[in-house]
């Protein structure tokens, strides 16, 4: 690290020019990143995907569907209404990639009162229909007293992409100015305060440019637009804050070159350590074979590396160039002494450690109580704000045309296949087996009804149905084509609406194990969620083992202590559990003016992986100062007290930056992103206050010299900051 600091100091201009060149090149590709993002990232190669392929290939169901919703005022006469629908759908038929148009003028159940809808089918995936959607929006225009809207998965995916970009801009407009204010309060000068913002912007733009090239190897989700800035800006500013704070301390009594070298060797080493902890936390997500989590891992790990690299190369080069001008444009005098609120808090905690630790634990345990009721779901259409026309139109479509008992949230798709390919699905023998399976399903206490060729034809006897289908020009032929294909039969199983999402997933798991007369393949949104949850539960122990073991070994070796890493892991788990409890209270129970909504699956997995690593930064910063003093004095009480006093301000400032940057996403519209922003901000707040300022020093005081015991090994000087 000494050599690196010396190089940065002596070749500062070269380093800055190299970074400007990197930014110019990768910044260009960063602007193109939104064009290669699509979907919500919850793609998984399992039975659900296999069932979808069967529906596409054998049952000829379209890959994508756009719903054209029509709404009229009561004053519009029937002839004008039908003419408008017909003209609109004729225009839609001419749009690129449209395979088929289903008009409500041909299907009675597609018109209800003042509402109607048409269907456009496509043989392209949702993310490939952007140009078509734009064309349709240009062609289909509302007129006086008649409104036409587009909705369905392709339109909502496109709008979700737009919403993510709008949310990013909104969060930056909120977070950056407030972050600058916090930095001015921390440093006093505008020059010093602006540097972390500059480093953050460089790190984000560079990372986005790199991630653009990942799109050639991975399917990238639109949420990556929020993840990279959220992590990158917060981490970059955090690293820069620690680095500049140390540089200001050193330059007060050293030359510029020596100050840079010392800062790189101390704060730079700490930044690498902190980045390693965050990197390991995100690396744990790679075990989960689902795009969204691997996207977060890849994007997150990349921005962590770039943020750390810019902090130990670009930042020291800039500081070497500025030198004592780092104090330029000073508008506030900062107090670097140990007196004040932090000193009073430290003395209070150290004077009554049992009381303070007990109060902290009571607060944390109370906060985590709602966790037991957490309802976690995969984000879907409800992730899009209701202000978007496609979301409002979809809600109207669901409300006017779809029976709640038969909504997609309650539907399990079931394909029954006989093992005799020579025997068609409509043979009497196969129909009897299908009917037997339907009877088993209908007897199940959690099943509302089963939709099949039997229920839709009104014929419940297999022999009679076979005879009816064999009649020339049978009116049941279209129905048979829709629900049978070769040796396969399609069923829709509607589960009872009162069941929770977890009970519906359990139902699928139960029936997957049942021995039915025919081979059963399950699909639908419930099956999709069951596979996603099972994959996470299956891989989670591997990720947790990696995070816990790595954290334990790093802290044990850093501080030559057995107790410190154990306490750190337990307290991190406790603080994160309290965070999740508060998030459930806010979002799921609908407090603080919010409508009740389930918790996005991304939140517990992502927040745990990210914040567990971030919290190690504050842990190391606090414990390393305590450790340095303890090695010199062998007085645990004195070391803990003075370590707490000397680090409280910088930990609070760093945490405030993280809270502001991530918390700004609480004011955005996309629900999963809003929940992530609140979750991370809450976790950082709890960790930097209740944990680092109260619980850690209280336990350090209570355990005394046992904090520094490691099987009899002697302590030696270890300065990480």
Q: Three-state secondary structure along 93-123?
A: HCCCCEEEEECCCCCHHHEECCEEEEEEEEC
Token duo for residue 421: 């390919």
CA distance 42 to 253: 55
What local confidence, expressed as pLDDT, does residue 177 receive?
Answer: 85
What local confidence, expressed as pLDDT, does residue 334 receive?
Answer: 61
Closest-CA residue to 677 (of 391, 685, 31): 685
Q: Find out whether 610 and 300 touch, Cβ atoms under 8 Å.
A: yes
Q: Find out whether 259 and 267 touch, Cβ atoms under 8 Å.
A: no
CA distance 500 to 509: 14
Q: Which residues of the chain have pLDDT under 50?
A: 337-339, 718-721
Closest-CA residue to 525 (of 635, 424, 649, 378): 378
How far, in Å, are 230, 338, 639 from residue 311 at the CA level? 17, 27, 29
Q: Provide the pairing of β-strand 484-485 with 599-600.
A: unpaired
What local confidence, expressed as pLDDT, does residue 718 receive?
Answer: 46
Closest-CA residue to 424 (of 491, 471, 484, 492): 484
How far, in Å, are 26, 92, 138 from residue 147 at the CA level? 44, 15, 14
Closest-CA residue to 654 (of 627, 696, 687): 687
CA distance 552 to 449: 53
What local confidence, expressed as pLDDT, does residue 716 receive?
Answer: 56
If you count DSSP H runs as helices and E runs as strands, how many of each does the chain have, helices first?
Answer: 26, 12
Q: Find out whether 595 and 604 touch, Cβ atoms under 8 Å.
A: no
What local confidence, expressed as pLDDT, does residue 715 receive?
Answer: 57
State in Å, rounded, how far the first CA of the chain is from the last one.
Answer: 13
Closest-CA residue to 232 (of 210, 195, 212, 206): 206
701-708 own/partner pairs: CB under 8 Å, 24+ apart: 701/349, 701/350, 701/353, 701/636, 701/637, 701/640, 702/353, 702/354, 702/357, 703/563, 704/636, 704/637, 705/636, 706/563, 707/561, 707/563, 707/564, 707/636, 708/559, 708/560, 708/561, 708/627, 708/630, 708/636
- How many CB atoms within 10 Å of residue 493? 26
CA distance 716 to 712: 13
Q: Find out whether 643 and 573 touch, Cβ atoms under 8 Å.
A: no
In degrees rounded to 5, what are phi and psi of residue 69? -100, 130
Token duo for residue 656: 């405030």
Q: At what angle do helices 190-214 and 12-32 cross, to 10 degrees?
A: 50
Q: Find out whether 650 and 176 touch, Cβ atoms under 8 Å.
A: no
pTM of the model: 0.80
Q: Find out whether 376 and 598 touch, Cβ atoms under 8 Å.
A: yes
Closest-CA residue to 544 (of 721, 285, 294): 285
- Tell me: the pLDDT tens digits for 368-401? 999 988 888 877 787 888 889 999 999 999 999 9
CA atoms within a 13 Å half-sphere pointing along the CA-CB vector of 444 = 21
Compute CA 313 distance to the chain's CA centroid, rounded to the nearest angstrom.
Answer: 30
Compute CA 12 distance to the chain's CA centroid, rounded to the nearest angstrom.
Answer: 38
- Tell me: the pLDDT tens digits for 198-226? 998 899 999 999 999 988 887 887 778 77
Largest CA distance in the chain: 100
Token duo for residue 525: 């949104």
Q: Find out whether 203 and 197 touch, Cβ atoms under 8 Å.
A: no
In degrees rounded to 5, what are phi and psi of residue 65? -135, 135
Q: Provide the pairing of β-strand 488-495 with 447-451.
A: antiparallel
What domains can you pick out in the chain, each with its CATH number?
1-36+196-330 (1.20.1640.10), 61-157 (3.30.70.1430), 338-375+532-721 (1.20.1640.10), 402-499 (no CATH)
């Amino acid at each position: 690290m000494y050599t690196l600091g010396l190089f940065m100091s002596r070749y500062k201009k070269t380093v800055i020019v190299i970074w400007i060149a990197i930014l110019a090149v990768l910044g260009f590709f960063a602007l193109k990143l939104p064009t290669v993002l699509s979907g919500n990232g919850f793609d998984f190669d399992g039975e659900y995907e296999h069932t979808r392929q069967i529906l596409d290939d054998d049952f000829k169901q379209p890959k994508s569907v756009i719903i054209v919703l029509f709404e009229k005022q009561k004053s519009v006469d029937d002839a004008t209404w039908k003419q408008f629908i017909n003209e609109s759908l004729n225009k839609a038929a001419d749009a690129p990639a449209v395979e088929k148009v289903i008009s409500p003028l041909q299907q009675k159940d597609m018109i209800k009162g003042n509402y109607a809808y048409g269907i456009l089918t496509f043989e392209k995936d949702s993310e490939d229909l952007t140009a078509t959607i734009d064309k349709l929006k240009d062609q289909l225009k509302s007129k006086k007293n008649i409104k036409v809207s587009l909705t369905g998965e392709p339109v909502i995916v496109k709008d979700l992409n737009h919403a993510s970009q709008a949310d990013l801009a909104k969060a930056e407009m909120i977070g950056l100015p407030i972050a600058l204010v916090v930095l001015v309060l921390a440093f006093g000068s505008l020059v010093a305060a602006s540097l972390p913002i500059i480093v953050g912007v460089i790190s984000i733009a560079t990372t986005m440019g790199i991630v653009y090239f990942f799109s050639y190897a991975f399917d990238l989700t639109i949420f990556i637009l929020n993840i990279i800035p959220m992590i990158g800006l917060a981490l970059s500013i955090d690293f820069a804050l620690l680095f500049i704070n140390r540089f200001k301390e050193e330059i007060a009594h050293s030359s510029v070159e020596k100050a840079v070298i010392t800062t790189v060797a101390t704060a730079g080493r700490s930044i690498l350590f902190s980045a390693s902890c965050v990197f390991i936390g995100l690396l744990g997500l790679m075990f989960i074979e689902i795009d969204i989590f691997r996207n977060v891992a890849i994007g997150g790990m990349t921005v962590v590396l770039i943020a750390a690299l810019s902090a130990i190369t670009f930042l020291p080069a800039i500081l070497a160039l500025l030198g004592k001008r780092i104090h330029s444009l000073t508008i506030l005098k900062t107090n670097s002494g140990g007196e004040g609120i932090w000193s009073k808090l430290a003395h209070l905690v150290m004077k009554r450690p049992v009381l303070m630790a007990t109060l902290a634990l009571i607060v944390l345990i109370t906060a985590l109580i709602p966790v037991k009721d957490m309802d976690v779901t995969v984000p879907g259409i409800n992730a899009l704000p209701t202000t978007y026309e496609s979301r409002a139109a979809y809600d109207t479509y669901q409300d006017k045309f779809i029976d709640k008992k038969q909504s997609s949230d309650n539907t399990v798709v079931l394909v029954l296949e006989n093992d005799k390919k020579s025997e068609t699905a409509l043979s009497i023998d196969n129909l009897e087996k299908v009917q037997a399976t339907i009877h088993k399903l209908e007897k199940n206490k959690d099943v509302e009804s089963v939709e099949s060729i039997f229920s839709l034809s009104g014929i419940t006897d297999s022999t009679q149905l076979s005879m009816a289908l064999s009649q020339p020009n049978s009116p049941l032929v279209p129905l048979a084509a829709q629900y049978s294909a070769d040796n396969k039969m399609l069923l829709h199983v509607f589960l009872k609406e009162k069941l929770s999402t977890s009970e519906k997933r359990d139902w699928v798991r139960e029936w997957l194990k049942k021995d039915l007369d025919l081979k059963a393949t399950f699909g639908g949104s419930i099956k999709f969620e069951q596979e996603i949850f099972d994959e996470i539960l299956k891989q989670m122990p591997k990720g947790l083992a990696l995070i816990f073991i790595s954290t334990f070994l790093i802290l044990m070796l850093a501080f030559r202590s057995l107790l410190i890493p154990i306490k750190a892991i337990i307290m991190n788990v406790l603080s994160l559990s309290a965070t999740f409890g508060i998030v459930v209270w806010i979002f799921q129970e609908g407090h603080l003016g919010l409508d009740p909504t389930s918790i996005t699956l991304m939140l517990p997995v992502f927040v745990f992986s990210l914040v567990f690593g971030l919290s190690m930064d504050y842990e190391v910063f606090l414990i390393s100062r305590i450790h340095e003093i303890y090695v010199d004095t062998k007085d645990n009480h004195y070391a803990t007290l003075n370590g707490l006093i000397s680090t409280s301000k910088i930990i609070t400032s760093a945490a405030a930056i993280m809270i502001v940057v991530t918390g700004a996403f609480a004011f955005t519209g996309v629900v999963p992103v809003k929940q992530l922003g609140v979750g991370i901000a809450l976790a950082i707040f709890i960790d930097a206050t209740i944990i680092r300022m109260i619980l850690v020093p209280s336990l350090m005081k209570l355990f005394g010299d046992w904090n520094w015991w490691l099987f009899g090994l002697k302590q030696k000087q270890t300065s990480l900051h």
